[in-house]
Amino acid sequence: MDRSRIDELLLSLLRRNPDGTGITGEAELSSVDWDDLLCKSAQHNVTPLLYHRLTTFHPGTAIPANVMERLRQAYLQSSGRNMKLYHELGKILGILRQQCIPVIALKGAHLAIVVYRNIALRPMGDIDLLVKQTDLLKVQDILVEQGYSPSKEETGCAQEHLPSYRKKDSIPIEIHFNIVAPPFSDRVDVEKLFARAQTCFIEGIEALSLCHEDLLLHLCMHAGVHHVFDNGIMPLFDISMAIEHYEGKLDWEQVLSRSREWGVSKCVYLTLFLAKRFAGASIPERITKDLDVYNDSFHAAARAEELIFRKAASISPNIVKLFNDDRLLSKLIHAIKCAFPPKRTLVNMRTQTGNPLSVYLLYFFRLKGLLKRHHQTVWRLFLRDKEMSTFAIFANKKSTLKDWLLRRN
């Protein structure tokens, strides 16, 4: 069985309404095929969901005992990890509520419990919370009081959230002050996000979640603009599950209108097209007609598909751009911009000294983090390492697609 067929089998098994590929294909699977299927599901971080789909929609399927045990263990591990995550999240939300600090649970923290309705099905690497700019320093102080400390190596890496806060034996917490990075963040009014937010309950604590339309837009932007579709198929199933869960409640005209207002129409259309194609997302026909317009542009769908399904080492697009430019001055300007982002992107982070000048120490932490993360990649590219050069070509494709997505539409 070739890889493309395994991809199709995995997609079919994961869809709510299988197309038949998954049912007729299992009898032909060899032990190697099953291993490949499990490797693929692990690569895309959907093994717990695959276990649930097999036991729910294909209960009569003859699955080797060792394969079923591996699936079950992945499901149980995800359940255990997320139980711990939600316990910690409940404590943090409780403290924030006592301090009258509104907070919106983003991505997995909301999806697993509200949309998937089974916390084991949606693995998470961290907790993402959105707070207002005016509450940032208070929230950071609360996290420090709870034993968390910011990752100095991540200083300045993201322009829509703080460096992750970490504590031994706990899940990292990312505090967002916007749902998307510049240039789109300037068009997203966070106050309006909170005004439209809806109440949800997590671990018995009242919190907020994005309204249905903002949630869908955020998932599309996170998959497209943030990850540029290199995060596998799980984001597409997040979108499909959210559309199904909020069926009849989603205002599609608001989705389209807001996507234009934020300048992310291309990203939203392309992501929804991919979610419909690969995850079986139920998207209205009138929306699909608009998707066709963007599907043919720049061969974006084909480029995105390659990024979704091809496993390759991740190289920062900034590093690739550095090596792609032959002009020394351009290289220098690009390197300086990457190493020293605008001060406003760093001032949201609380510094321990309280001295206004100490914000410049954050540039030191940023440089240190950049060197630690990327020095080997830069050195191998400088030596024209064959494997790394291949990865750079792939990263360049990703960079080109992101540039297309970032153009105002």
- H or E, element range at 50: helix 47-57
Q: How many C-beta atoms surround the C-beta of residue 87 within 10 A?
A: 12
* Cβ neighbours for 160, distance < 8 A, ≥ 6 positions apart: 176, 177, 178, 179, 180, 181, 185
pLDDT of 396 = 77
Give the chain's residues under pLDDT 70: 1-3, 17-28, 153-158, 290-298, 311-371, 373-375, 377-393, 408-409
Phi, psi of 359 (to 5 degrees): -60, -25
User: Regarding beta strands 205-209 and 198-202, do their DSSP bridges make them parallel or antiparallel, or are they unpaired?
Assistant: antiparallel
Length of the chain (residues): 409
pLDDT of 342 = 66
Q: What SS3 class is residue 105?
A: strand
- Angstrom CA distances, 325 to 156, 272, 322, 373, stand at 24, 34, 6, 22
pLDDT of 150 = 86
pLDDT of 399 = 82
pLDDT of 403 = 86
Burial class (CB in 10 A: 0-12, 13-18, 19+), 235: buried
Angle at 310 between CA 5 and CA 37, to 5 degrees: 40
- pLDDT tens string 373-398: 666 766 666 666 666 666 666 777 88
